[in-house]
Structure 1
Amino acid sequence: MISSRIASSTLLLLLLVTQTAAAERWIDLTHTLSDKAVFWPTADPYQRETVFEGMTEGGYFYSAYVFKTAEHGGTHIDAPVHFAKGKRTVDEIPLSQLIGDAVVVDVSEAVASDRDYRVSVADLQRWESSHGTIPRGSIVLLRTGFGQFWPDPERYLGTALRGEAGAAALSFPGLGTAAADWLISERGLAAVGIDTASIDYGKSRDFSTHVRLMKDDIPAFENVAGLEQLPATGAFVVALPAKLAGGSGAPLRIVARIAGD
């Protein structure tokens, strides 16, 4: 009798696990880091060199490479110290700001008619009127629709120029400083992400949104991919950067779990 009960409990547990797995799926929100990845115009592009690739004298295949990359290229994280002296470096950001429930604010319609659009407090309040109050400690992801232009730098950044000339010609949407302040003071967000090259809009010269976020130790995820695949609410995000000692930023692998079809 006892063995029968144990077997029944085990079968029930297996069924629950199987149903849970079928009821959710994971979405990769990371652009592949390669020489095709979009980098800031003043940053050196990603580079990779082959150390060895091929058959060894021992008769087995072996490959190894060396790569070089700027902290702030491809899908990456901006640590608070990037724009706020004395604030957290990449390796100091607590996991509670990198893993958690997310909301996705879609402003792609407004951006379609203004590529220099800045997400406003009104946009966030409009989102809340449809989906409810943004919970404290949320990861707020901003969908501008610019992910569709990756990896074409001219369409994604607004220019194919490099160097200072390229930085001066940048044109893409971002988060307005007033909206960043509202998210911090009124909603206590954990982190913010966007599908463009910067949390500040491209034409910014003072990076005031970066400054506002980072003086309160709020990290930013930039060049996030695939936000069109996420619902407005209900996603669970894991955003883990390379743990670089003292880093102002780092390559980021970000994924989201959502309910299955």
Structure 2
Amino acid sequence: MRKCDGFFRLTALWAVFVAGLLVACTPARTGLLVDLTYPFGQDTIYWPHNKPFQWERTDWGMTSGGYWYASATFSASEHGGTHLDAPIHFGRGRRTVDQIPLEQLTGPAIVVDVRPRCEEQPDFELTVEDLQAWESRYGRIPDGAIVLMFSGWGQRWPDRQRYLGSQTSDDPLTLHFPGFSREAATFLVAQRAVRGLGIDTASIDPGRSRDFPVHRVLGEADVYALENVASLERLPPRGATLWALPIKINGGTGSPVRIVAQVP
């Protein structure tokens, strides 16, 4: 009987060991991954007068060696489609794309939904009061966050005239779409220590802006911007984590960027 007791104890211990090993080796649940990036192609919207996206096949087919080979070239302005504005874009001597630390390119995603306001007023500017109202409902914006203004403008993509708010969308003096106000940007940079701002329009400044004060506030503070962010309707007001990974262009003022959010 003693031998049986010892056998059962040994078996139980082994079962506990194996169960612990399985738990340790099982990947943790990562939540839902959401792509916040528009594909780049012929319909990609760029700022007026900026070079559009171009893609051309250079090799495409079976080789003389009997295997398949495909290759292409692409070119475009730094500032179009879903992209990142480096601080140097409007801040002399500030960081270029390749100088932004990797840890700055991720953080809590804060989504400020102002779709009804933007529907009524295409030139709407997000105010400090809007941010304070958001905090009253959802809590203080944490330091190191990436604050995303959700205007609903993404439903107009890729219709260039509707998205840029102008029948003459090649003229930057005729554009109409929502953006941040200078005061809101200053508040987020100075009092909430944000890592970046993002928006689902062509610019963090409203379309009618002539001197781009929001870009200048961010440039001076060495903070980047994310523009033409897609699918913000898939994120909660808070709780998601965002990653924005631009092409590491040496000296770049901006870059196409793959933006991904993890929703718990």
TM-score bracket, shorter-length normalisation: over 0.9
Q: Which residue does 1:189 correspond to in 2?
A: 194
- The reply on whether 1:232 has 2:232 as its aligned counterpart is no
2:102 corresponds to: 95
Return the index of the structure with the highest Cα Rg.
2
Q: Return the offset for 1:14.
A: 5.0
Amino acid in the other structure paired with 2:47: W
Deviations 1:78-102 (A, max 9, x none): 0000001000000001122211111
**Residues 90-239 of structure 1: pairs in structure 2 closer than 5 A:** 90-161=97-168, 163=170, 166-239=171-244
Aligned 8 A contact 2:244 2:258 in 1: yes
**Which residue does 2:74 correspond to in 1?**
67
Asked whether the 8 Å contact 2:169–2:175 carries over to 1, the reply is no
SS at match of 1:215: helix
Q: What SS is found at the alignment partner of 1:236?
A: strand
Letter in 1 for 2:175: L
Query: Does 2:251 correspond to 1:246?
Result: yes
Kindly state the Cα deviation for residue 10 of structure 1 after the two structures are TM-superposed.
2.1
The alignment covers a number of residue pairs equal to 253
Q: 2:47 matched to which residue of 1?
A: 40
Q: TM-score, normalised on structure 1?
A: 0.94
Provide the TM-score with structure 2 as the length reference. 0.93
| Distance across 1 between alignment mates of 2:102 and 2:175 | 32
Q: Which amino acid in the other structure matches residue 6 of structure 1?
A: F
Gaps of 5+ in 1: none
> 1:3: Cα distance to partner?
4.1
Q: Deviation at 1:162? A: 5.1
Q: Contact conserved, 2:160 with 2:169, CA < 8 A, in 1?
A: no
Amino acid at match of 2:72: Y
Instruction: List per-residue Cα deviations over 1:15-45 (Å, max 9, x = no partner).
Output: 6x36x24xx1100000001111111111121
**Contact 1:96/1:190 (8 A) holds in 2:** no
Corresponding residue number in structure 2 for 1:7: 18
Displacement of 1:12 in angstroms is: 2.6
Is contact 1:99–1:237 with CA below 8 Å preserved after alignment?
Answer: yes
CA contact (8 A) 1:71 1:248 kept: yes
8 Å CA contact retained: 1:97, 1:139? no
The letter of the residue matching 1:168 is: L
- Measured in 1, the distance between the counterparts of 2:24 and 2:166 equals 55
Question: What is the Cα-based RMSD across aligned positions, in Å?
Answer: 1.3
CA distance in 1, matches of 2:165, 2:243: 30
Superposed CA offset, 1:124-173 (max 9, x none): 0000000001011111111000011110011110125354xx21111100
Where does the alignment leave 5 or more consecutive residues of structure 2 unmatched? Answer: 1-9
Identity over aligned pairs, percent: 46
Shift of 1:7: 1.2
Rounded to whole Å, the distance in 2 between the matches of 1:244 and 1:191 is 19
- Tell me the distance in 2 between the aligned counterparts of 1:72 and 1:258: 27
> Could you list the per-position Cα deviations for residues 164-198 of structure 1 after superposition, in whole angstroms to 9, with x for gaps in the alignment?
xx211111000000000011111111111000000
Letter of the 1:200 counterpart: D
| Alpha-carbon distance in structure 2 between the residues aligned to 1:160 and 1:58 | 52
| Worse-superposed segment, 78-87 or 38-47 | 38-47
